[in-house]
A = this chain, B = another copy of it.
Amino acid sequence: MSVRTQPGPRERLLEAAHQLIYSQGVNVGVDALLKAANVARRSLYEHFGGKDGLIVEVLRSAAAADDADYRRTMDAAGDNPRERLLAVFDRLGEITATPGFHGCRYLAADLALTDPDHPAHEITRDYRRHVHDLLERELVTLGHPRPERGADQLLLLIDGTLAAGATRPGTDPAAAARELAECVIAP
């Protein structure tokens, strides 16, 4: 009967990479990742095959967490699709105001990994399509005339909010986007 003293090297590495890759970018060195996770060099290659594999798993788990965050946010807003969608932008207001926030990790990864064949792009693409569908579903139940286009617009507002939150802090981009989101919801 042993006490679970600390997570295994795989979990430690994932968590450390989650934070370090966000704060330092995907070009952060392997040494820095290993040191932050307090993990042996070999464990990285055993569990993830290499740095690229680690990057992919970090994005995959981050996407799962962010998806859960979207659902939690919308569910907490009740059943009204309008309120559920607007709640997303209130949540974005919290996220962009969080200390250490500096933009969308998926966009940062896409822009930094210039090789179009890097497997990370598939993760980010799937994640965006997933969020798009999440938004579109709400618009459908709202009776929106063009739910797919509407979801495009909401996703564009989300990306714009995260970009502005990173590059023009203090301008409350989430509130600005929320106003425009109302135009999307009630066209």
Contact of A61 with B by CB under 8 A = no
Among residues of B, the one whose C-beta sits closest to the C-beta of A187 is: B179
Size bracket, chain A contacts: 35 or more
Total copies of this chain within the assembly:
2
A106 contacts across to B, CB distance below 8 A: 167
A145-187 interface code vs B (CB 8 A; 1 in, 0 out): 0000100110111111101101110010100110110011000
Indicate whether A110 sits within 8 Å of B166 (C-beta atoms), given known contacts A160-B160, A180-B183.
yes
Indicate whether A164 sits within 8 Å of B168 (C-beta atoms), given known contacts A112-B25, A184-B180.
no
Contact of A27 with B by CB under 8 A = yes
Contact of A65 with B by CB under 8 A = no
